[in-house]
Amino acid sequence: MPTQPCLTPVDFNKLQSVCSACSLRELCLPAGLDPEELAQVDQLVNRRQPVKRGDYLYRAGAALRSLYAIRTGFMKSSVLHEDGREQVAGFHMMGDLLGLDAISTGQHMCDTLALEDSEVCEIPFAVLERLSREIPSLQQHFHRIMSREIVRDYGVMLLLGSMRAEERLAAFLLNLSQRFAARGYSSLEFNLRMTREEIGSFLGLKLETISRVLSHFQDQGLIEVRNKRIRIASIDGLRALIGQQA
Partner DNA sequence: GGCCGGTTTTGATCCAGGTCAAAACCAGTG
Partner DNA sequence: CACTGGTTTTGACCTGGATCAAAACCGGCC
Give contact residues for DNA (rule: CB under 7 A). 164-166, 192, 195-197, 204-212, 214-215, 225-228
Give the separation between CA 20 and CA 27, rounded to whole angstroms: 6
Question: Quick check: 144 binds a copy of itself (CB under 8 A)?
Answer: yes
Strand 74-80 to strand 189-191: parallel, antiparallel, or no bridges (unpaired)?
Answer: unpaired
Residue closer to DNA by CB (options 22, 194) is: 194
**CA–CA separation, 235 vs 173, rounded Å?**
9
Sheet holding 229-232, edge to edge: 189-191, 229-232, 223-226
10 Å Cβ neighbour count for 4? Answer: 5
Which one of 81, 219, 227, 246 is in contact with a copy of itself (CB under 8 A)? 81
Closest distance between DNA and the C-beta of residue 148, in Å?
28
List the single partner that 234 binds among a copy of itself, DNA, none, CB under 5 to 8 Å by kind: none
Q: What is the DSSP letter of 16?
A: G
Q: Is 246 helix (H, G, I), strand (E, B) or coil?
A: coil
Interface pattern 148-177 for a copy of itself (x via CB under 8 A) = xxxx-xxxxxx-xxxx--------------
Q: Which does 13 bind (CB under 5 to 8 A by kind): a copy of itself, DNA, none?
A: none
Q: Which residue, 124 or 204, has its beta carbon nearer to DNA?
A: 204
CA trace torsion 80, 123, 190, 90 (10° rounding) = 20
85 binds a copy of itself (CB under 8 A): yes
Q: Which does 104 bind (CB under 5 to 8 A by kind): DNA, a copy of itself, none?
A: a copy of itself
Q: How far is the CB of 52 from a copy of itself (least distance, A)?
A: 16
Residues 32, 33, 35, 41, Cα dihedral to 10°: -140
Does position 143 bind a copy of itself by CB under 8 A?
yes
Among a copy of itself, DNA, none, the one that 211 touches (CB under a kind-dependent 5 to 8 A) is: DNA
With beta carbons less than 8 A apart as the criterion, state whether 232 and 189 touch.
Answer: yes
Strand locations in the chain (E): 47-51, 56-58, 66-72, 74-80, 86-93, 97-98, 111-114, 118-124, 189-191, 223-226, 229-232
Per CB under 8 A, residues contacting a copy of itself are 1, 3-9, 15, 59-61, 79-83, 85-89, 100-105, 108-111, 129, 132-134, 136, 139-140, 143-144, 146-151, 153-158, 160-163, 201-204, 243-244
